[in-house]
Structures are given as C-alpha cells and as structure tokens.
Amino acid sequence: MKKLFGFIGSLMVVGLLLAGCSTSKADNSVKKIQDKKTLIVGTSADYAPFEFPIVKNGHKEIVGYDILLSKKIADSLGVKLKIVNTEFPSLISELQDNKVDLILAGMVSTPQRKKAVAFSKSYYTVKNQLLVNRKDANKYHTTADLKGKSVGAQQSTTQESIVKSQIKGSQPVIESNLTSLATELGQGKLDGLVVENEIADNYVTTYPKKYAISNVTLNTPKNFRYINVATRKSDKKLLKKVNSEITKLQKSGELTKMFKQAQTIQAKYK
C-alpha cells in the first residue's frame, strides 16, 4: 500500500513538473498583442460580404463581416485593429511568419490546413455553387455538361479542389485573385466559377445582368463547410479569447446582425 502511495505521489510530482514546464514555456500570445496595443488581422479582400474594399470619403477601406468580427475581437482584447490585405494563398505563411496575429478570410478549417494552424469554433457555414454568366443561366445542369469548359476557382481554396475533383472533364482556371476571376466570367472569358453560396448570391444581387447561379449541384464535403478564425498553433490563450468572443456574439444574436450589416454596407458602396 505504502509503495502504491509512493508511486502515485511520484506520478503527481512528475505531473506538477510537466505542468510547470508548459506554463514556463509561456504562451504570451495575448500579452504580446496587448503590449503592442494592436491586433493584426490578415485577410484577402476579394470576398464580399466577408471582406471587400470600399472608398469612403476618398479613402480606401477594407470592410465586411470578417472585419466586423475582427473589430469585436480587438475590442475584447482592449487593442486597436490593423488589417493586412494579402492574396489568399499566402495567408497561412503570413501567420506562420508572425506577420499577422490572426486570419479572418472566410477560411474553412480543412484537415490539410489543420496541420499548419489552429482554428477557432466556426462562425459561418457555407456550401459551394457554380456561378455563370447571366447568358448561360440555364445552360448547365450537371457537372458533365461542363466537359471541355473553362471553370475558374481561387488558388489554394476548397473551390480549387472542388473544380479538380468534381468537375472532371473541365479545364480548371486557377488564379490567386477572386475578383479578377469574376471579372473574366462577366466578360465571357470563363464558362463558370466555383464559389461559396454567399459570394455567388452577392455577385448576383449586385450585378443581376452579369451573373447567375447555375443549376449544377456541387457537393460540399463536411470538411469544407465551416468558416473559422485561424491562429498559430502555439497561441492557445489567444484562441481561447477568440472562441469566447464568438460564443458571446453567437448567443446574443449579434453575429447574425453583423453579417446583415456587412451585406448592407456592400449594397451601399457597390
């Protein structure tokens, strides 16, 4: 019996030592942000209503749902918000290289990305659609109808995998900027563009004469549905803060209001 207690005792000592180690290898992710008084958020402002540029009083500004949420997170930390706009494919390395503190870019938590960064709880759910030129509104019904057609998708996104895995006979056109792809679709240089439903809806409501959502059904696997905030894996305290802010905004209904607010801003400044 004595021996057993001794054994348990030494296990506890080892446990305490380990716990000590993990706190001494301090996670000062929150403190660092508070010391510099600024939260730096990386985004890719080609994704209305999540993030998009507007010109207000002669100044270019990046606004949207992700920016409203970023502001709430910054407020909860008691710091200012700085937005860094980069192309989507480089966001994860910007985070890993400490150029930004968080990514809010309509980014879904794929298993592949989870190897590189940590994700918060989800703050939006999406599915994928095929946006087409208005003149082709009723032209395509299944993915097979897109054989030989040029179908665009933003580079390094879940849309790129969907084009390549689900629209097999098509010719994928992969580019880093989504706004340019949408422009090409509007000019008839592309036959289709894979985008998430809110993005597609936004193009159709903003430019009803230019775009339409096709009848083609795409499958959005579970892994591609949930939009989250990305943090560095080591920044556990910051992640916890982000999660509690999202929970708070979800419970109060504010998150839903913020999405509508972003859509209103988009309609006003289009």
Please return the burial class of 179, using the count of CB atoms within 10 Å of its CB with bins 0-12, 13-18 and 19+. middle
For residue 179, the minimal CB distance to ligand ARG (Å) is 9
| CB closer to ligand ARG, 92 vs 249 | 92
User: Exactly one of 39, 42, 47, 173 binds ligand ARG (CB under 6 A); which one?
Assistant: 47
Longest dimension (CA), the chain: 84
| CB closer to ligand ARG, 47 vs 203 | 47
For residue 50, the minimal CB distance to ligand ARG (Å) is 6
| 181: CB partners within 8 A, 6+ apart | 152, 153, 154, 173, 175, 190, 193
139 token code pair? 């032209």
For residue 46, the minimal CB distance to ligand ARG (Å) is 5
- The 188-207 site mask, x for binding ligand ARG (CB under 6 A), equals --------x-----------
Residue 88 binds ligand ARG, judged by CB under 6 A: yes
| CB closer to ligand ARG, 39 vs 62 | 62
Contact 130, 194 (CB under 8 A): yes
| CB closer to ligand ARG, 146 vs 178 | 178
Preceding amide of 172 cis, omega within 30: no
| CB closer to ligand ARG, 79 vs 167 | 167
| 100-139 positions binding ligand ARG, by CB under 6 A | 105-108
Quote the CA–CA distance of 66 and 170 in Å, as a whole number.
32
Quote the CA–CA distance of 170 and 144 in Å, as a whole number.
9
| 131-190 positions binding ligand ARG, by CB under 6 A | 154, 157-158, 178
Q: Which of 37, 47, 39, 157 is nearest to 102 (CA)?
A: 39
